[in-house]
Structure 1
């Protein structure tokens, strides 16, 4: 018998790993397990407490993986999502975002535990197995038996249930425990980096050696595409690349922005403390407050009642640059300020708060649906008389529109600075997508330049950390457009318990 066939006969994959063979519970040579597939089908147990959240997450994940839309929108449109409790909606969101964030690592683990190539696994069984693996490794609060039972219960057919059950129990057998840091005595292949403060310890080595600065191994262990890891290693070096990879997989921090005129950062910290919520001022910015515990911002009275907004520190810094940069030629009050690509409106609202009655703020975006969120924020913050909302493409604004004193262009980008918040964006990154984005950014920058009066300023910002979209875009702008001067530029890398990654540059149009 050949080597591969002999291995198969021993219940192993051809490459030597033990192969998962899904047998019906009670089959010859294998006793039925309590809670196994047959038990699920016979007893018709009442659906578990969180099965609704898992079912909604499963449907949304299948839509995202089929490229039918983005995660949050697909999840919120799923039948049954609105009927979930707030706690179950949070679980569904965590499952979807978590699986998408760790998709490459999860697929690698599934191949290791099953002995099958990922493309040879039934799509529904594959997605369920990924959901189950994520729960077993990442969700400490969900008991392992509940994660397995409730996930298997969604599988449908007997064969599919058997496969998912076998995969999850095989993973459970190879799991030796968890640690807050990577043990130095274990080889890297037996250590799975789940979060910066949580590592899974395996009995057998299933990962490549990710201790070395090698893009493929780091890409698997930290669940990023090789293309991103390679470019970061080349530009940032191994140490900073590892820091970015870890930050991308960490829970995103929540920054609040105190609503000027209604409160300030210190008063907001005190209000939160009175509600039992720990927070502190972010000293680098005048209105920024960082929450020290995880809580849904919608549960905060300050947010609901318009004394605060959710906005990351890097985004606040870009809006502040628009306000704080002095004009070479003073404006005639009130100043004219435009936020192009404004939806959902965080920066436009901050600009209206910063300038008060000293400026008229235009919020321009071509997406009418996303501008509805801006209108909601404008009303919540009491800014209806300070912001003019325009549904139009910034590139279509013609010479008949009077020029502006200050323009902010927060351009569409690859989102590589905010991958922890937009987990599927990492899987849509590639040379073609990057080329399309840089072409669009160039068109928008050209349009923005036409809207700034002599002596005015233009602030260009992205939530990317890629050179082509940031400093490279600025260099190309200065090559194309005469009469402009680069005042400053700043690129921020994402940090654990710190700001998102992003970029902004300030240009002055010479008078």
Structure 2
């Protein structure tokens, strides 16, 4: 592979934004890909994939390059040189790249690969927390969470069947495969930008990980019901529920962030989902108005996001133990407050994209032991781990309110 100067410079600029200015990797990638109109798809994928790869393995590469934060441009070039060497790419004779001790890099890599926190490129505190909470599963799980996530689509059954979607995408030269046990899902055979397709513009599908596609069905939503999605965000699961409800009934999509609900409105228009009513949560009154009024309530709770590290590798460097403790308190409060929306005989799903028991089954057990949970009974739960499923780590718990 021959390295092109303008592409490598884009990667170095991106790393500077992520590591030194604390910007989010996905936003940085979006910005960089608009940088040069002449870049073809191969150039764009080199920039995006190299950036994500170096972010994912930052600790390992920085250790091999013998550099520490803050990362000057000189240090970022050293990290880039480690990445290129380990990929077997010969380095050009540019003044930014110092002579690279190839053999030493490979020797250090072999040495550090024996130690999990370096091999899997994670902070010490995360390695400790994972080991404490997941015991023997942690090794397999963190390894799986360092792999690149597959691209999974959900057929929008308000407009098209999964089989028809597969044919429509084939007509646009995009190959997909079915995923056993996921009735609306298609997985891309090769990564490509699906957002430019006619099928996407017509609202035939959403990009949604297979694990996330389990949530709406787990809540057992039915046409004609009143459903409240309490942490709807930009509405991936809301749109899935609208499809399962065949546009009948009402979904109240709530969030504290109005800008996310604005995005949901845009997506709902494209999807032809007409039974969604977005509502911004401005005070506790917005929740009180709905007490005991919903057949189904989804609490897709804010969480550490450790189950989706494959698609957000920079989260490893932005998270800290204090944030996780705070988010657990938020989860507890949300469960207590939002569960009051369920009417007698109704159902509630508590979901997270975390793999930590302390954010998942422990939260549900704690809720059921309190006064607020006394009216609920536990029906079932599902723990989805990446090393078994091949998709995001997730947790789902179904509770029913007594009559």
TM-score (norm 1): 0.71
The 3-state SS of whatever aligns with 1:508 is: strand
Measure how far apart 1:502 and its partner are. 0.8
- Aligned pair 1:290/2:194, yes or no? no
Are residue 499 (structure 1) and residue 391 (structure 2) matched?
yes
User: 1:365-392 CA deviation, whole Å, 9 max, x = no partner?
Assistant: 2222333332231122112x22111222
1:34 aligned residue: none
Task: Tell me: CA distance 1:227–1:475, structure 2 relative to 1, closer, same or farther (3 Å).
Answer: same
Report the CA distance between 1:123 and its aligned residue.
Answer: 1.6
Match of 2:61 in 1: 106
Matched, 1:144 2:93: no
- Bigger Rg, structure 1 or 2: 1
Is the alpha carbon distance of 1:59 and 1:367 closer, same or farther for their aligned partners in structure 2, counting shifts above 3 Å? farther
Q: 1:400 maps to what in 2?
A: 289
User: In structure 2, what is the equivalent of residue 442 of structure 1?
Assistant: 332
Equivalent residue for 2:75? 126
Q: 1:350 aligns with which of 232, 237, 240?
A: 240
Query: Which aligned pairs between 1:417-456 and structure 2 lie closer than 5 A?
Result: 417-456=307-346
* Counterpart contact for 2:304–2:324, Cα < 8 Å: yes
Query: What corresponds to 1:245 in structure 2?
Result: 142
Residue 359 of structure 2 corresponds to residue 462 of structure 1 = no
Contact 1:362 1:389 in 2 (8 A): yes
Q: 1:225 — aligned with what?
A: 123
CA shift digits 1:118-177 (9 cap, x unpaired): 35x862211222233223434x7xx524xx45xx46xxxxxxx3xx322xx213x457xx
- The corresponding residue for 1:382 is 272
Distance apart, 1:496 and its partner CA: 8.0
Gaps of 5+ in 2: none
After superposition, residues 71-110 of structure 1 pair within 5 angstroms as 71-77=25-31, 81=35, 83=37, 85=39, 87=41, 88-110=43-65
Please give the secondary structure, in 1, of the residue aligned with 2:380: strand
Instruction: State the alpha-carbon separation in 2 of the partners of residues 501 and 321 from structure 1.
Output: 16
Partner of 1:33: none
State the alpha-carbon separation in 2 of the partners of residues 358 and 442 from structure 1.
Answer: 32
CA positional deviation for 1:209: 6.3
1:409 equivalenced with 2:308 (yes/no):
no
Q: CA deviation at 1:223?
A: 0.8
Find the aligned partners of 1:462 and 1:86 in 2 and give their Cα distance: 37
Report deviation, 1:72. 1.7
SS for the counterpart of 1:503 is strand
Which residue does the alignment assign to 2:364? 474
1:294-322 alpha-carbon deviations (Å, 9 max, x no partner) = 22222443223211111111111011112
Equivalent positions of 1:268-347 (< 5 A) are 268-323=165-220, 334-347=224-237
- Cα–Cα, structure 1 residues 78 and 219, in superposed 2: closer, same or farther, change >3 Å? same
SS in 2 for 1:271: helix
C-alpha deviations, 1:191-220, integer Å up to 9, x for none? xxxxxxxxxxx3x35444655xxxxx1110
Query: Match of 1:41?
Result: none
Contact 2:307 2:394 in 1 (8 A): yes
Write the mapping of 1:151-170 to structure 2, written as runs, cut at 5 A: 152=94, 161=96, 164-166=97-99, 169-170=100-101
Distance 1:398 1:241, change over 3 A: closer
What's the CA shift string for 1:395-452, capped at 9, x where partnerless? Answer: 5524233621111111111111110100111123332111111011112112211211
Aligned length: 398
Partner-residue secondary structure (3-state), 1:135 = helix
Aligned partner of 1:262 in structure 2 is 159
Deviation at 1:106, TM superposition (A): 0.7
User: For the residues of structure 2 that align with 1:349 and 1:73, how far apart are their CA atoms?
Assistant: 24
Asked whether the equivalents of residues 177 and 188 of structure 2 are also in contact (C-alpha less than 8 Å), the reply is yes
Which position in structure 2 is the counterpart of 1:59? 13
Unaligned runs of 5+ in 1: 1-47, 112-116, 154-160, 176-201, 212-216, 327-332
For each residue in 1:440-486, what CA deviation from the matched residue of structure 2 results, as whole angstroms up to 9, or x when unmatched?
11121122112111111111111100111101111111122221111
Residue aligned with 2:368, SS: helix
Structure 1 position 61, deviation (Å)? 2.2
Higher RCO structure (Cα 8 Å, ≥6 apart): 2
Matched, 1:70 2:24: yes
Distance 2:284 2:353 in 1: 20
SS at match of 1:96: helix
